[in-house]
Each structure stands twice: as C-alpha cells, then as structure tokens.
Structure 1
Amino acid sequence: VAHRKAHGQPFIYECRVPGCGQTFDHKSLFYNHKKMHEPRPRCQYCGKSFSRVTTLKYHNKLCSRAPR
C-alpha cells in the first residue's frame, strides 16, 4: 500500500477476512463492505435480521405489539 501511495497510485483498502481479499479505492466503500462480514442484528420477537440497528428498533416496536 505504501508503495502504491509513493507512486501516485490510489490508496487501496483490502478486506482481510479469510477467503475474501476484495480491494477498494474508497474508504466508504470498504467500510460498507466490511459490514457484510459482521453479524446482522436480529429481532428478539420474530428472528428477522436487519442491516441497520435503527431499522431493527422500529421493527421491534411494531413486532412486539403484534398479536401472536
């Protein structure tokens, strides 16, 4: 990476998860990619998973009120 930067090439972000190795030239794309390797938050009532905690919180309010 340092070698690429010294020669004016774009900085590369590399995923170090075993078996992945994808590279990105933008930090934001790299961080978005990293999220796919993390466990997704799940609803405690129905088990549905969500990519965002805020969406899960909204869902939990609705799901907890639903009749079973």
Structure 2
Amino acid sequence: MPKTGIQGVTVNLKLKDEGFKKQLAALREYLENFGDLHKDLGRRLRMLSHQAERVDELFEIKTGTNREK
C-alpha cells in the first residue's frame, strides 16, 4: 500500500530517482560499448580496404591488367 503524506512522496521520488540512475548508467554503458564497436568496425574496414588495394596491386603485377576493367 503506498505511503501518504510528505514521507511517502519522498520515498517514491527516491525510488524513481534510483531507477532513473540505473537506466542512465545502463544507457551510458551501452553507448560506450557502441562507441568501442564503432571504432573497431572502422579499424576493420580500413584494414579490409588496405587488403583490397594490395590484392589489386598483386593482380595487376601478375596479369599486367587492372582488375576493374
């Protein structure tokens, strides 16, 4: 049964505040993890791009033609 009066309001506000703090902390952690994932994906894409460039160079050296043609 909910409390009434000023003490009840204080208790309810504290509970809501704690719930909000937990949600905010979870959101902060999610965003930090997302940022780390974004950085990792960017690094991997750069690595793949460099590898693709190297494959193009090796193909051109071996065949004497450009792969894109």
Q: TM-score w.r.t. structure 1 length?
A: 0.31
Q: Which has the higher strand share?
A: 1
Q: TM-score w.r.t. structure 2 length?
A: 0.31
Q: Determine which structure has greater relative contact order: mean sequence separation of CA pairs < 8 Å that are 6+ residues apart, divided by chain length.
A: 1
Q: Which has the higher helix share?
A: 2
